Amino acid sequence: MQRAMKPGKRVVVKNEPNDDQGAVRHTPTAGVKVAPNMNINLTAFGELYDVDDTAILERAVESGLQLAREISPVIDHLASLNTSSTARKDDVARWQEAIEQIFSLSRPTQTRIGVVGVTGAGKSSLVNSLVGEEKLLPTSCSRACTAWVTEVSYNYIDDATASYRAEIEFMTAEAWLGEVEALLQDIKDDVSSGSSDYLDGNSDAGMAFSRLTAVYPGLTLETILTSDKNVMAENAEAQMVLGRTINLNDVSSKGLLDQMQAYMGRNAKEDVAKGLNPWPLIKAVRVFTKAPALSTGAVIVDLPGLHDSNAARAAVSTNYMKDCSGIWVVAPIIRAVDDKSAKELMGESFRRGMVFDGTWSAISFVASKTDDINVEEAAGELGCATDIDQDFARINTLTNEITALKNDLGVLKKQNTKNRDSLDDLRDEVDMWETAMSDIQRGESIHAATANLGKRKRADSDVSGMSPLMEAVTTPYEESQVDQHLQDLKTRAQDLRKRIKIDLETIKEQEQSLELKMQTKTSLLEGIKKSCIKKRNQVSSQRIKQDFADGIREVDEATTPDQNDVFYIPDKPPRDYEKVKAGLHVFCISSRAYQKLNGMMQNVGFDTSGYGNSDDTGIPELQAHAQKLTESHRNARCREILVKLQALLTSIACWITGLDIKRAGLDSSSIKVHLRRESVKFRNNLTESLDACSEKLTKMLQINIYSKTNSLAIAAELEATPYADRWFESQDDGGLGLVSHRTFKAVCRKKGVHAPRGRVAVDIHADLARPIYDGLVGDWEKVFTLKIPFLLQEFLSEFTQHQKNFHQVFVERYERSHHLAKALDSLNDHNDGSREGLSNLVVEIKNTTAKYRGDARQAVIQAIANGMEALYNRCLGIRGTGCKLRIQRAAEDHIETIKGTVFHDAVAKMHMELEDMEQFIGDKLTTEVKLLLEKALSAYSGVLLGSQRGKLSPAELKLKDDLYVIFQSVNSRFRRTN
């Protein structure tokens, strides 16, 4: 492997062959017109360099891509002309290549956002609500939902039948067999110890059992105890799936989910007759949807967890996280309030890695399930009871009033019903007496007309009001008596109707009052709930921020050398923990409330009280945050496209407006000699700056890192044995709690990294490497966050100065020549573009060095892991009586054997990664400088030497005119985007 440039080794930017034949071009012959005063203004590009607004930059890119589409066919036509063209063939080829590069960069960039959290934290629900779907990902709390990496990104395919797509990637046969071996051993160790944990789905053995029986449904405990991985390898059904990627698509999210469930959603306890349940074989699931929140390039990566119990899957998560621009740590808000979630969920090892890698600023915290709240408990715990005591008192009053009002209404309605029945009887009575009266008036005898009245069932006395005389059926009625009684009945009916009407009005008023009181009570309850949710969100957010800052502080304090330590840095500025706290983004969300308020979950009776609208759920804010995280990548892409476009346009413009040297009365030979001489100076100056940059980088790493690693490796060696002794001590005694040989074997099966449920996570390799990390972290952070960025910026400044000096030489030499002075002005755009291009490269280098930074740290871990591999294998093979003591002795012997070399090997691997970083920086800068020199020579040659070779053919003149027309619109196009 080629290593980095060392002090004294010059970085040489090779001289390009002189193009004497192509540098001097002949004046077009008479009769061929040359467009006079073909001035092209590209100043609009310079105005875009100070723009940070992503929307403006993206509009400019769209205009630029359209411009490139218009230019491309003209350049292709120019390339097809014969060698008499005044444009050099290498220039035209370079233009074509630049156009292709611009088109290739037009594809959207991706910004990965990792989502981590414990099972049941609501990660899948969060992702579903983030993309505006009810159920795009399964939300069951089973382990199957979190056993693999799930990516959700924008679907750029314009196919109505594939609005939703998915790719399900299965692990290779080799990877699965490696996992099978560990799963089998988990169960065998559990059974051999007399335990039945394999029946508990939450234990390691239980999870292993569920995985194996899902893939091999006919498997029994007896079969497992007598099987090995090679027997499993013979399963034909599993072999048909391993190594494959299944592609699915549908017109709806539900349809896609139904298809995915066949591979990733079946319950492991279903009838074994259904055959292989392939979820344990899945490596990754990639889902594509047209969610607006993902349209700017955000890719949501649902990771299995920070400390997955499966070592291979935990490694996958770690590798994914290295490529993530943001990490969202998800936990139910109840945990965020009750526990130190911002610290505990990430773990000490993870936090140390964050500080060492400089990635802590990429963390965001999501407190989920804000709808899960007991209002009365929350009010007391959050100290807001006094704020809502009046509301609670009003609610109690309303409750009593509502109860009393309901009782009054019940009595009133009962009486009203009774009155209505009485009124009906009265109406019947009136009808009968009116009929009798009519019969009498027609001449019928009173006796005959009233004969049947006495047989009718009498109404209540308070209704009929009959006198004793009228009640005597045998007594003959007088006509006047009949008439009087009829009038009495009508009067009473009228009174009863009035009473009923008044009662109905009273009932209506009381019902309205009841409804109003109930609405008021509901509104007060919702207001209290909303206040409690809001208050808890605020309190939780502050606690999480404080916990996070405290976690970073603890790492800093633990890694700060003593004042007597050789590595103590007295002038090291303290970290601003208030700034750390303020910089952590915290989002308090309710996925279910968001979905319900947006018309989803129609068949679910979910109470959205406490949320006035979707904004109150926190999801829209999180969606905006996801889009915001993409801006740096989008801006970088836009700037790269615009810089390349400006370089292309400037180069073509130099050819279009090329000066006619002879007509200007200038000596082309003199200009060529001067250009060649100054180009050599420019090249030498840049080479010296590259040399100096390389030497400074190597010296910086030597002083701050390389010179210290040997001592730190020795320190790690000295601490290794005491640390290993603590493995087998209880946590109460300050140990790791690996007292049981079964527990230590579990750690061995997980290759040194184990997160047992309910216990502190174990990371043997990180703990063994701690003395190295602790001794380097201060200088390490200073090198990567301050010194390397400053060094790159220094080189950029030197390049800018060399470029200005190069340009100024020609300005001073030819300022008296109106023609050349005017031509040189056109090169300002070229020089601006070159500086911006190098500036973009510096940003790219900074981002890439961040990855080397993480890889260098991981190289130490991996070297130690490799050194421990033999111990893990040896301990797993120890069985029988006294195995605990034999395992402990094996561990002690192994540490004593490897500690003299493993830590030195580890820092050597770190050196290699950092040397690769040096090489990368040197190569990147050298390549870019060489390219910029080529472009500068081409641009200055085109402007200063003009078009003298051959004559302009009519076809070429036509192409120049076509390009000139297009170029005249450049400024107006790009200024419209601002």
**DSSP 8-state class, residue 73:** H
Helix (H, G, I), strand (E, B) or coil at 134: coil
**DSSP 8-state class, residue 330:** E
For residue 134, give Cα distances in angstroms to 147, 212, 306, 531, 662.
Answer: 21, 31, 26, 27, 74
Tens digits of per-residue pLDDT, 57-105? 999 999 999 999 999 999 998 888 765 555 566 778 889 999 999 999 8
pLDDT for position 547: 86
Q: Which residues of 599-621 are buried (b: 16+ CB within 10 A; e: fewer)?
A: ebbeeeeeebbbbeebebbbbbe
- Provide CB contacts within 8 A for 235, sequence distance 6+: 215, 216
706 burial level (CB within 10 Å; 0-12, 13-18, 19+): middle
- Provide CB contacts within 8 A for 53, sequence distance 6+: none
Closest CA to 176 of 199, 147, 140: 147
Q: Give the residues across from 659 on adjacent strands.
A: none
Measured in whole angstroms, the distance separating CA 676 from the mean position of its chain's CA atoms is 52
pLDDT for position 476: 54
Q: Could you please report the per-residue DSSP string of 756-797?
A: -TTS--EEHHHHHHHHHHHHHHHHHHHIIIIIHHHHHHHHHH
What six digits make up the tokens of 150?
A: 């799930």
Using CA atoms, how far apart are residues 174 and 976, in angstroms rounded to an integer? 57
Q: What is the mean pLDDT of each run of 10 residues along the chain (978 residues)?
A: 43 42 35 51 80 90 94 90 61 89 88 85 90 85 64 92 94 88 81 73 78 85 80 79 93 92 66 71 94 93 66 65 86 72 63 79 90 81 70 86 91 89 85 81 73 53 45 57 83 88 90 91 86 88 88 80 53 78 93 91 82 92 93 89 88 74 63 88 94 95 94 94 86 71 82 68 88 89 91 92 90 74 72 83 88 91 94 86 87 93 96 96 92 85 62 77 89 75
Phi/psi at 137 (5° precision): -110, 145
Closest CA to 555 of 400, 283, 770: 770
What six digits make up the tokens of 348?
A: 């000490």
Prediction pTM value: 0.78
**Residues 276, 241 contacting (CB under 8 angstroms):** yes
**Residues 222, 215 contacting (CB under 8 angstroms):** no
What six digits make up the tokens of 518?
A: 């109930």
Using CA atoms, how far apart are residues 643 and 836, in angstroms rounded to an integer? 7
Measured in whole angstroms, the distance separating CA 961 from the mean position of its chain's CA atoms is 49
Q: Could you please report the per-residue DSSP string of 524-590?
A: HHHHHHHHHHHHHHHHHHHHHHHHHHHHHHHHHHHHSPPTTSTT--TTPPPP-HHHHHHH-EEEE--
Torsion, Cα 538 539 544 545, to 10 degrees, reads 70
Secondary structure tally for the chain: helices H, strands E? 36, 11
- Provide CB contacts within 8 A for 435, sequence distance 6+: none
Q: Which residues of 688-704 are buried (b: 16+ CB within 10 A; e: fewer)?
A: ebbbbbbbbbbebbeeb
Using CA atoms, how far apart are residues 181 and 232, in angstroms rounded to an integer? 9
Using CA atoms, how far apart are residues 538 and 382, in angstroms rounded to an integer? 10
- Provide CB contacts within 8 A for 411, sequence distance 6+: none
Q: Give the residues across from 301 on adjacent strands.
A: 114, 151
Give the angle subtended at the CA of 756 by the CAs of 755 and 757, to the nearest 5°.
Answer: 115
Helix (H, G, I), strand (E, B) or coil at 288: strand
For residue 344, give Cα distances in angstroms to 308, 360, 546, 761.
Answer: 15, 15, 13, 10
**Residues 600, 380 contacting (CB under 8 angstroms):** no
In this structure, the chain runs to a length of 978
Using CA atoms, how far apart are residues 590 and 534, in angstroms rounded to an integer? 12
Distance in angstroms between the alpha carbons of the first and the last residue of the chain: 48
Residue type, 558: A
Tens digits of per-residue pLDDT, 667-681? 677 888 888 899 999
**DSSP 8-state class, residue 383:** T
Using CA atoms, how far apart are residues 158 and 163, in angstroms rounded to an integer? 8
